[in-house]
């Protein structure tokens, strides 16, 4: 069976430094897959390689069976892979509305209006701030805008890189509720997180990365019970 | 104090300032998306002027046709310039090299090289001397209003500048390509993530900036009645000063500072000999760099 996203033996090197040393993973259509791991193991590099921001040195990335390795980022976005990247990368000097407009890409007219309406239903806070500069939003609102902007591209696969980073616990819960809501619309999600507990709760499948390699994988519920995971990522005492 | 001569100088200075502003916009747009200074921008202005004069000499078409032709030449010049002097240094796709220092330095030199080559070629083809614009096409007819005498060129410059500023605002705020230009200027990595084709956006920026620069060139040629190969240098430097004073990447800042420079130079001729008024722009550049390192309007480092 082919998955929506298949990654086989992916290798990325930055200068002399190998960052990804043969990563393989699958994201089924409509599923949520999470990649766990501590800082600096290559999670963000993996996400950037999928989006075509980093050059891939070896291995293959396939979307619906078609190789997309080393295609340009705008091609990959057009094929339906959108990312809410690390650091948000919103357009801080442009308005919230302009950010969402840019996320929609070349789509215009009625379709765009409908998507915008749907997005503002999902993020009512953004509706109040449509004409504000994105840089003036709070951290949580900026994260909402970042996800909303990616969703405006009507992705089949949404890549989320550390969406809970730097957010208050209440906002973290909102973000993960949102992840569940997005999956109901049929969008598959690949979620990179340090907050393993929350990520394992929403995900179907989970992978654990260490120094550029996948060291553990399985259904999220099983990994949540795995003693190694509990010791390393869940503080050792989680129910 | 406000005698007619002084007001006359202000009007003249304002016209010159608008020309600086048209050139400064091109500098600012390109600096915004690439973080580099395009040293060949003054030559785009010069090429626009020559193209217009050649067309006028051959067929003497109506002014609007001349301007449209010069806009087309400017667009082609901007496209070619980007391909020749900037694109080759953008082979690497990652975001680190998109705004890296090495690339910036390389394009400083490559755009300088293109500017020298273009200037030399124009000199070889048309000669180094001043080339007069056919008299019937010059925009130097006096228009007397009360004690003040304007020239038709000042009205044309004013009208064309206002139209181009309005067109630019429309482009940047109401069209997809304009939004893309602002997005790349604001956050090049973010622009990639929303699927913007960065290469195409950069080309579009060069085309827009060069169209404005080329139009400025033909307007000045008609206003002063002549063209010469090095005509792009002084206005180019002054537009550059306006960009720096305006905060490097603020278009309104650059426009305001350009007009201010034009006015200051004109007023200075009241007090200084002609040659010395040329020093005004450089004096302002030094003062800005020393006392306002982020420019008069660049406090927040806001882009475009």
In a domain, A87, yes or no: no
DSSP state at residue B108: H
For B135-164, give one letter per residue: b (16+ CB within 10 A) or e: eebbbeeeeeeeeeebbbbbebbbebbeeb
pLDDT-derived band at A42 (thresholds 50, 70, 90) equals very high
Q: Are residues A69 and A17 in the same domain?
A: yes
Residue pLDDT, tens place only, B217-232? 999 999 999 999 999 9
Instruction: Round the average pLDDT of chain A to a whole number and report it.
Output: 92
Q: What is the tens place of the pLDDT at every residue in B120-169?
A: 999 999 999 999 998 888 888 888 888 888 889 999 999 999 999 999 99
Is B303 inside a domain boundary?
no
User: Is a pLDDT exceeding 50 seen at residue B302?
Assistant: no
Count how many Cα atoms sit within 13 Å of the Cα of residue B286 in the half-sphere of its side chain. Answer: 4
pLDDT of residue B221: 95
| ipTM associated with this complex | 0.93
Does a structural domain hold residue B299? no
Counting the structural domains of chain B, the total is 1
| A1 pLDDT tier (thresholds 50, 70, 90) | low
- Crossing angle of helices B198-224 and B41-59, rounded to 10°: 60
In this structure, are A164 and A226 located in the same domain?
A: yes
Residue B100 banded pLDDT, cuts 50, 70, 90: low
Q: Are residues A14 and A102 in the same domain?
A: no
* Residue A91 maps to a domain: no
CATH code for the domain of A171? 3.40.50.300
Residue B263, domain CATH: 1.10.3470
Q: How many domains does chain A have?
A: 2
- Please determine, for residue B2, whether its predicted confidence score (pLDDT) is greater than 50: yes
Domain that holds residue B117: 4-291
- Domain region containing A116: 96-154
User: In angstroms, rounded to a whole number, what is the distance separating the alpha carbons of residues A158 and A156?
Assistant: 7
Residue B98 placed within a domain: yes
Residues A76 and A159 in one domain: yes
So what's the pLDDT on residue B238? 93
In a domain, B301, yes or no: no
* Same domain assignment for residues A159 and A140: no
Contact B194 A105 (CB under 8 A): yes
Amino acid B260: pLDDT: 93
Q: Are residues A102 and B302, on separate chains, in Cβ contact within 8 Å?
A: no
**Cβ of B197 under 8 Å from any chain A Cβ?**
yes
What average pLDDT does range A155-173 have in this prediction? 92
Q: Which residues of A touch B (CB under 8 A)?
A: 51-55, 72-74, 77-78, 82-83, 85, 89-94, 98, 101-103, 105-106, 108, 149-150, 153
Residue of B nearest to A104 (CA): B194
Banded model confidence at residue A99, pLDDT cuts 50, 70, 90:
very high
Distance of alpha carbon A108 from alpha carbon B176, whole angstroms: 10
Residue B300 confidence class, pLDDT cut points 50, 70, 90: very low
Percent of chain B, pLDDT > 90?
63
In a domain? residue A239: no
In a domain, A201, yes or no: yes
| Residue B268: predicted pLDDT | 86
Q: Is there a single domain that holds both residue A14 and residue A48?
A: yes
């Amino acid at each position: 069976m082919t998955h929506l996203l298949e990654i086989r033996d992916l290798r990325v090197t930055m200068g002399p430094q190998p960052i990804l040393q043969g990563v393989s993973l699958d994201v089924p259509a409509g599923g949520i897959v999470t990649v766990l791991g501590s800082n600096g193991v290559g999670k963000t590099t993996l996400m950037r390689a999928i989006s075509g921001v980093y050059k891939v040195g070896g291995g293959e990335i396939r979307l619906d069976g078609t190789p997309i390795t080393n295609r340009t980022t705008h091609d990959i976005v057009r094929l339906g892979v959108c990312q809410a990247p690390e650091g948000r990368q919103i357009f801080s000097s442009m308005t919230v509305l302009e950010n969402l407009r840019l996320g929609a890409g070349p789509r215009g007219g009625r379709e765009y209006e409908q998507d915008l309406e749907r997005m503002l239903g999902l993020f009512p806070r953004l509706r109040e701030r449509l004409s504000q500069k994105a840089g003036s939003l709070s951290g949580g609102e900026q994260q909402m805008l970042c996800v909303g902007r990616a969703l405006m591209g009507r992705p089949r696969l949404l890549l989320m890189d550390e969406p809970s980073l730097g957010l208050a616990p209440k906002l973290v819960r909102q973000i993960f509720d949102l992840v569940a809501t997005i999956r109901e619309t049929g969008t598959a999600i690949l979620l990179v997180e340090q907050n393993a507990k929350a990520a394992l709760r929403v995900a179907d499948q989970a992978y654990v990365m260490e120094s550029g390699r996948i060291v553990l994988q399985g259904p999220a519920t099983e990994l949540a019970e795995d003693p190694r995971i509990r010791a390393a990522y869940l503080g050792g005492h989680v129910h | 104090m406000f005698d007619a001569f002084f007001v006359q100088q202000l009007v003249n200075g304002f016209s010159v300032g608008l020309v600086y502003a048209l050139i400064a916009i091109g500098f600012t747009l390109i600096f915004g998306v690439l973080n580099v200074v395009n040293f060949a921008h003054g030559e785009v202005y010069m090429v626009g002027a020559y193209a217009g004069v050649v067309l006028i000499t051959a067929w003497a078409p109506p002014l609007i046709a001349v301007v449209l032709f010069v806009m087309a030449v400017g667009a082609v010049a901007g496209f070619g310039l980007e391909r020749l002097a900037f694109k080759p240094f953008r082979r690497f796709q990652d975001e680190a090299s998109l705004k890296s220092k090495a690339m910036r330095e390389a394009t400083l030199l490559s755009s300088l090289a293109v500017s020298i080559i273009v200037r030399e070629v124009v000199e070889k083809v048309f000669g180094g001397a001043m080339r007069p614009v056919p008299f019937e096409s010059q925009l130097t007819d006096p228009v007397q209003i009360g004690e003040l005498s304007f020239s038709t060129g000042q009205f044309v410059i004013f009208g064309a500048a206002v139209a181009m500023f309005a067109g630019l605002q429309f482009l940047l705020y109401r069209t997809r390509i304009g939004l893309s230009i602002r997005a790349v200027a604001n956050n090049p990595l973010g622009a990639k993530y929303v699927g913007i084709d960065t290469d195409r956006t950069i080309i579009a920026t060069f085309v827009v900036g060069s169209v404005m620069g080329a139009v400025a060139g033909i307007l000045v040629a008609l206003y002063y009645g002549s063209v010469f190969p090095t005509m792009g240098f002084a206005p180019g430097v002054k537009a550059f000063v306006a960009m720096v004073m305006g905060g490097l990447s603020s278009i309104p800042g650059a426009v305001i500072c350009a007009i201010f420079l034009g006015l200051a130079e004109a007023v200075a001729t009241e007090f200084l000999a002609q040659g010395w008024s040329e020093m005004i722009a450089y004096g302002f550049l030094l003062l800005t760099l020393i006392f306002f390192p982020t420019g008069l309007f660049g406090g927040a480092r806001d882009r475009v």
